[in-house]
Structure 1
Amino acid sequence: MSFDHLFNPIKIRGLELKNRVVFPAMGTKMVTEDKFMTQQNIDYHVARALGGCGLNFTEVCAVYAPASVKNFLSIAEDKYIPELKKFADAIHKAGGKTGVQLWLGGLVARYDPEAKIVIPSDMPIGGGSVIPGASIETIKEATHAFGTAAKRAVEAGYDTIEFHAGHNYTPHSFLSPYFNRRNDEYGGSLENRARFLIECIKAIRSNIPEDMPLFMRIDAHDDYLENGLTIEEVIAFCKMAKEAGVDVLDVSRGNFSSKALKYEVPSIDLPRGFNVENAARIKKETGMLTIAVGRINTPEQADIIIGNNQADMVVIGRGQLADPDFCNKAKEGKEDQIVRCVGCNQGCYDGFVSTEIPYITCMRNPALGREVEYALVKTTEPKKVLIAGGGVAGLEAAMTLQQRGHHPIVCEAAATLGGQFVLAGAAPRKEEMKEAALWMGEQALKEGIDIRLETPITEALIDELLPDEVIIAIGAEPMSLNITGNDLPHVVNSHEVLEGKINVQGNIVIIGGGLVGLEVAEYAEGKAKQITVVEMQNEVAKDLGEIRKISVIENIEAAGIKTLTHSKCVEINNEVVVIDKEGQLEEIPYDLVVVAIGAKSRNFENITTACHKKGIPYHIIGDAVRARRALNSVAEAAAVARLI
C-alpha cells in the first residue's frame, strides 16, 4: 500500500520537508544536569532522521535563564549554542530537517529549587506559602528571552522554531482563564490574556529570517479545568497568532495540573486519533496549516488524516520511539514490518518520571537511547540457542539472535505464541497489545525461526537438540490464596477468566486490586450483576503507571465497580467471602471469586538441572526471574541476545 498523502512533500515559507511526519519534542532525560545537549540525544534523533522522518524537534528548550530547569535543555545563553549546533548538523547530515522548541516551563520549575517559577497569578501552595504571579518586569524579561533564544537557534543552524504555548507551561497559563486571574493588561479579556503570547511570538519573529517558518504548539482546549479555555477561544487566539507571524499550529491537548495529563502522553486507554477532530476544526476555522497529534501510530491512519484534509501534517512520536524506521518502512511498502507502539507508556512516560530508570526507553524497542551501543552486530561464531518460552521476551530474544546470525529454536508449551501479552489483550481497550504479541509471532515465522508449539522443554529434548546455550523465558503463573476455601469450585484465577474459560455472571468478588484485578473487573463489566474488588493496600491500581491509572480508575468508577481498600480476604465459604477491613469482619455474597493477587515464576528446575549435566550455559530472563512489567522482560531479552 502506498501512502501518497503522507509522503507528499510540503513547503512552508522557505522550508521544504520531504514528507508530512513530525517527530515531536518529548522529554528524554538524555540531557546533562547543566542543560547541555548530549551525544546520546543526538544519536537518538539521528536514528529517526535516518529512518525517514520529515522534521525533528528538540525536546523543550528553556529560553529564560532564571527559570531554566536542571536536566532540561537550555538555549538561554550563548554557551549552549555549540552543542545545539552539533545536533542540527547531525540531523542535516542524516537527511532530515530540525527545529528547536522554545519553552518557558512555569510550574515545572518547582522541581529545581534554583529555578524561578513564572506564572500569571499568585498560587497558594499550602502552609501559608504562595508562589507569586509574575511582575511586569519579569514578563518583559521573558518576552525578550524568547527573542534572543530564537536568534541563537538561527545561529545554531536550525531550520525552524516551535513556540510552546500549551500543556500548562507559562504561555498557556497566561492564556487560560483558569490560571490567569490578573487584573492588569495581561489578564481579564482574551485579548489581554493573549498579550504575553503575542509579544513572545513577535519577539521570535523579529529574530528569525523571513523565510523561516514558525510553529506553535497549542492545546485544543482546556480539559478538567473549571472555566478553562474553550476551543472557540483557542481559535480566536490562533487568528491573532497568525497575524503576529505563526505559520503552523501543532494541535495538542492536556495539562499537568489535572487528570488531563492523560491527553499529553495518551495511553492505550484512549482511542487512536482522539484529538484529530479538534485539529480539523481549528484548521478549517483559522485557515492555517495544522499538525494532528494524539495516538497516531500507523501509516494508514496518518495518510487518511491528511488525505481527508483534517490536518496538513501528523505527529508520530511514540510510533517512532517503537520503530525509528517507521517512515522508511511505510514508504517502501513494508508497513507490515513496522514495530508498532501500543500505548503502554511503560518506557516513555513512566520511564521519564521514574527515579530508577536513567532515561526513557520503550517496551517495544529496547535500543531506544542506546542506538549506537545496541546496533546489531553479526556473530562470527553462530550458535544453536534453545529458547524456553514463546512470549514476548522469548520472541524478542529469538528475533535478535536470528538477525545476528545465530540459530534460535523456540519451544512453547502452549498451542500459541505471545504468552501473557496475548492474555492482557483480552482486557477492555487493550486489543493492540494482543495484536503486537501475535505480530511478533508472525514476524518470527517470516524470519525463518524454528518454532515448536506444544513443546515443553525436557531433559530428553535438550539431549536431542544439544544446544550451545539456553534462554529460559517461561514466564509466571497466577498465585493462589493460602486461606480456607481457596479450592472451592467457584474460586478461579484471573487467567482463567481472561482466557474466556469461565462463565462470568452474578455477583463477582475479585481478590486483588492491582492491574490484573482491575482488568478482570472491566472484563466482567456488563456480564456480572455486581463486581467488588478487594484490595489489602490503601488504594487500587498501585502497580499502574500514573497516566494509565487515571484512565483505568475513571473507567472503574464509571462502570459502578465497587472497590474496597484496606481489606484482606481471610476466608471463603460456600456463600460469602469474609474480609477483614481495618479490624472489622465483613461478608460479601458471591457467585464467583476471582483471585488476582499476583504471579510467581514457573518452576524450571528441570531445565537448569539438564543444562548443568551437559555443561550448557543458560540465561534466565523476564518473569521467569520474577513477575514484573513486560518492559523489563523485553529489555532483558534484548540484552542477553546481544551478549551471546
Structure 2
Amino acid sequence: MMFQMLFSPITIRQMTLKNRAIMPAMGTKFPKDNQVTQQLIDYHIARVKGGSGLNIVEVTGVHAGSIPSHYLSLAEDRFIPGMQQLTAAIHEHGGKAGVQLWQGSIAVASDPTAQVIVASDMPISPEYTIPGASKELIAELIDCFKEAARRAVEADFDCIEVHLAHNYILHSFLSGGINRRTDEYGGSLENRARFPLAVIEAMRSAMPDTMPLFMRIDAHDDYLENGLTIEEVIQFVKWAKERGVDVVDVSRGNIISSGLKYEVPPIDIPFAFNIENAARIKEETGIITMGVGRVNYPALAEEILAEGKVDLIGIGRAQLSDPEFLNKAKAGKLEDIVYCVGCNQGCYDACERPDIPHITCLRNPACGKEREYQLVPTTEQKKIVVAGGGMAGMEVAMTLQERGFQVILCEASEQLGGQFLLAGMAPRKQEMREAAILKGEQLQRAGVEVRLNTPVTEALLKELNPEIVINAVGAQPLQPKILGIENEQVYNYVDILQNKPQLTGKTIVIGGGLVGLEVAETIAETGGAVTVIEMTDEIAKDLGSTRKITVMEQLYIDNVTTMTDTTCTSITDQGVQVMKDGKEMLLECDHVVVAIGSQSRDFKAIEDYCNAQGLDYYVIGDALEPRRALEATAEGAALARSI
C-alpha cells in the first residue's frame, strides 16, 4: 500500500481512527438558524465516503446570545436532534465525527444581533468601549462550554475539540497580546490561562472517560505585540494535558492583524509552513499532535508522519477541492487528484463576502452542491464542440464527457489552461500552472477529444457537424484608448507574465488590481524600479483579504511604489501623463505596462453561424464576461449539468 503511515490506524482513548487524515473544522455557511441542514450532511458524507479518518464539524457555538445565524449551535438542547442526524449519517458511511466548540469573541460581529464578548476593554470609538467580560459572564461561559460538551455526547459525537485559537474568546484570554486585564484573569501566563483551563476541566467533567478531547491552539501569535510565544504555548499545552486534553491541533493566525494569512493560508504561503512548530510542541509535551497548514499532497503528509513530526494531519481544503482525495491517494491514483491551489476564492473569501451564499471551490464547483450535482448520464448521444481550453472550457468538456456526450474541445493555442496557465507564471503561483496542466491531462484521460492549435471556424463546424457549440474562448488584454499606447516602450500584462522581459530602469504599471500587482512583482524581481498607478481609491481591491496581505507585503519588500486616485491621460517618450487630485503631472519612466483588465474575445461570426444553422449555442467564463476563475469553473459545471 502507498502511504503506509498516512493510512495506518490510531487509537485515542477508546476512539480508533482508520487513518491519520483529519478533515478539520471549517466554516461553511451551510447551517441555517444555527441548525444542521441536509446540505451540511451531504457535504460531510462526500468526504467520509472519500476516505476521511475523522470529520470535525465546524465551529459550534456554546453561548446562545453570541452565535451568528449561519453557525452551528449546541447552546440549547433543541439543537441535539439535528446534530444526531449529522453524526448518524457520518457513522452510517463508516466515518468518525468530532465537533468543535467555540465562542467567537469579536468574530461574531458580522451578525449585528450577536453579542460581542471580549477579554478586556476594547475601545471601538471615542464614545464607546466594549467592556471586558465580567467574572459573572466568565462563570457563565465555563458552564456554557460544559453544557455544550454534554450535548455533544448526547448527539453521539466520537470526540470534541475546544477552540483556543484565532482571536476567539479562549485565545483572547490566553494571549498577552489581546488580554489586558489587571485581575486574576490577566497579567501572568498562569492568570491568563485560568479561564481556558477552567473551561477544559468543565468540558472534561461532562465527557465520558472513553471520549477524546482535542484542543485547537495557535503555535504562537503573529504580528501581535506581547503575543503568545511558543514557549508559553508549550507550557499551556502541558497544563491542558494534565486536565484531560488528549490531542493538540496546532494552528496559526488571528483576525486582528496580518497574521490572518496563516489562518487560511493562501498560495503565497509555503507548504507545511507550520509543521515544525507542531513537531516542537509534540516533542516538548509528549501529547498526540495534529499538524495543519497547506499539506496538499499525500507524499508530503506521508513524509511528515513518517518522520514522527506529528501523529495526525489536518487535510481541509484539499478535501474541498477533491472529496475523493484520500481514496485516490490510497489507490495510488495521484494523477487523478484535483489539487487545492490555495486560491481561497471559494472557501475563505466566501465567508467574507455576503454575495456568496456558502463556501464552494474553484477546483470543485460541486462543493456544497453534492446532492444536486450528482452526475446524470445523458440519454442522447449529442456531439458537442467546446471552443476554448481554459478552466471554463475544460470543466464543461470533462463533465459532459463523464455524462456520456461526444465532446470535442478545440483550443486555438498550443496548450490547454488559458488564463489559469498565465496566472501560474506570476510569482509564487506555480501551483496554478501545474493544476492547469494536470487538468488538461485528466481531461484527455477521461476521453475528451482535444484539438490544439485549432481555432473554431465556420469551416470546422461544417466539418464536425455538432448539435451544440459552447463558447469558452476567454478574454484578451483590454487596450484602452490612451494617446501613445502604441508606443514601442508599452507592454501589456501577457507580454510580461508570459515572456518575462528584463525591464531595467523605471517602469510604470497602469492598473492596481491583482494582475497589475503581479506584473509589478515580476518586474521588481529582476531589479526594476516599479510604480503602480490605480485610478480608484484602493490598490488590490479585487483580492480576498488573505491574498491581499501576502501580495501587499511582497510589494513592500520589493520597494514597489503605489499611487491611488491616479488616472493615466497619455503616454509619451518621457513617461506617463496622469491626473491626480485635479492636477496634471508627468511620471517619468523607461517602460509602461498596461494591466487594467481584460475584454471578452470576439466570437460574433460563430454565434451568427450557430443561430443561422439552428445549433444550440452557449457562452461561459471570460467569453461571457471577464471575472475570476471561480465563476468560470462554476458556469462550466452548471452548464454541463443542464444540457
Tell me which interval the TM-score lies in, with the shorter structure as reference length. Answer: over 0.9
Q: How does 1:22-61 map to 2 (within 5 A)?
A: 22-32=22-32, 34-61=33-60
Structure 2 equivalent of residue 335 of structure 1? 334
- CA offset digits 1:63-89 (Å, max 9, x no partner): 122323322110010000000000000
Alignment partners' CA distance in 1, 2:638 and 2:187: 56
Q: How does 1:88-167 map to 2 (within 5 A)?
A: 88-167=87-166
**Aligned amino acid, residue 96 of structure 1:** G
- CA offset digits 1:477-524 (Å, max 9, x no partner): 001131211111111110011111644222111111111000101111
- CA offset digits 1:404-441 (Å, max 9, x no partner): 11111000111111011111011000000001100111
Structure 2 equivalent of residue 537 of structure 1? 536
Alignment partners' CA distance in 2, 1:524 and 1:120: 45
Say whether residues 1:378 and 2:377 are aligned partners.
Answer: yes
Instruction: Judge conservation of contact 1:508–1:528 (CA < 8 Å) in 2.
Output: no
Structure 1 equivalent of residue 235 of structure 2? 236
- Secondary structure at 2:100's aligned position in 1? strand
Structure 1 equivalent of residue 250 of structure 2? 251
**Aligned amino acid, residue 411 of structure 1:** C
Deviation at 1:565, TM superposition (A): 1.1
Question: Taking structure 1 as reference, are residues 526 and 114 closer, same or farther at Cα in structure 2, changes over 3 Å only?
Answer: closer
Alignment partners' CA distance in 1, 2:449 and 2:604: 24
Instruction: Judge conservation of contact 2:503–2:528 (CA < 8 Å) in 1.
Output: no
List gaps (5 residues or longer) in structure 1. Answer: none
Say whether residues 1:490 and 2:489 are aligned partners.
Answer: yes
Structure 2 equivalent of residue 267 of structure 1? 266
Say whether residues 1:579 and 2:578 are aligned partners.
Answer: yes
- Secondary structure at 1:618's aligned position in 2? strand
TM-score (norm 2): 0.99
Alignment partners' CA distance in 2, 1:205 and 1:441: 51
**Aligned amino acid, residue 127 of structure 1:** P
Instruction: Judge conservation of contact 1:426–1:498 (CA < 8 Å) in 2.
Output: yes
Alignment partners' CA distance in 2, 1:238 and 1:20: 21
Deviation at 1:579, TM superposition (A): 1.3
**Aligned amino acid, residue 93 of structure 1:** E
Deviation at 1:528, TM superposition (A): 4.0
Instruction: Judge conservation of contact 2:267–2:341 (CA < 8 Å) in 1.
Output: yes
**Aligned amino acid, residue 8 of structure 2:** N
Structure 2 equivalent of residue 515 of structure 1? 514
- CA offset digits 1:607-635 (Å, max 9, x no partner): 11110121100110000011100000000
Alignment partners' CA distance in 2, 1:451 and 1:182: 65
Say whether residues 1:465 and 2:460 are aligned partners.
Answer: no
Instruction: Judge conservation of contact 1:363–1:630 (CA < 8 Å) in 2.
Output: yes
Structure 2 equivalent of residue 226 of structure 1? 225
Question: Taking structure 1 as reference, are residues 266 and 638 closer, same or farther at Cα in structure 2, changes over 3 Å only?
Answer: same
Alignment partners' CA distance in 1, 2:480 and 2:111: 45
Instruction: Please identify, of 604-613 and 159-168, the stretch whose mean Cα deviation from structure 2 is larger.
Output: 604-613
Q: How does 1:402-481 map to 2 (within 5 A)?
A: 402-481=401-480
Alignment partners' CA distance in 2, 1:462 and 1:116: 61
Once superposed, what is the RMSD of the aligned Cα atoms?
Answer: 1.0
**Aligned amino acid, residue 366 of structure 2:** A
**Aligned amino acid, residue 526 of structure 2:** K
Instruction: Judge conservation of contact 2:500–2:522 (CA < 8 Å) in 1.
Output: no
Say whether residues 1:306 and 2:305 are aligned partners.
Answer: yes
Alignment partners' CA distance in 1, 2:112 and 2:411: 53
Instruction: Judge conservation of contact 1:507–1:528 (CA < 8 Å) in 2.
Output: no
**Aligned amino acid, residue 138 of structure 1:** L
Percent identity of paired positions between Structure 1 and Structure 2:
55
**Aligned amino acid, residue 24 of structure 2:** P
Alignment partners' CA distance in 2, 1:4 and 1:301: 13
Instruction: Judge conservation of contact 2:471–2:617 (CA < 8 Å) in 1.
Output: yes
- CA offset digits 1:532-557 (Å, max 9, x no partner): 11111112111111111111001001
TM-score (norm 1): 0.99
- CA offset digits 1:564-601 (Å, max 9, x no partner): 11111111111221111112222222222110011000
Instruction: Judge conservation of contact 2:502–2:523 (CA < 8 Å) in 1.
Output: no
- CA offset digits 1:125-174 (Å, max 9, x no partner): 00310111111111111101111111111111000000000100000000
Alignment partners' CA distance in 2, 1:459 and 1:67: 61
Q: How many residues align?
A: 643
Alignment partners' CA distance in 2, 1:70 and 1:443: 40
Structure 1 equivalent of residue 180 of structure 2? 181
**Aligned amino acid, residue 508 of structure 1:** T
Structure 2 equivalent of residue 288 of structure 1? 287
**Aligned amino acid, residue 324 of structure 2:** D
**Aligned amino acid, residue 172 of structure 2:** S
Alignment partners' CA distance in 1, 2:94 and 2:215: 24
Instruction: Judge conservation of contact 1:462–1:610 (CA < 8 Å) in 2.
Output: no
Alignment partners' CA distance in 2, 1:526 and 1:345: 25
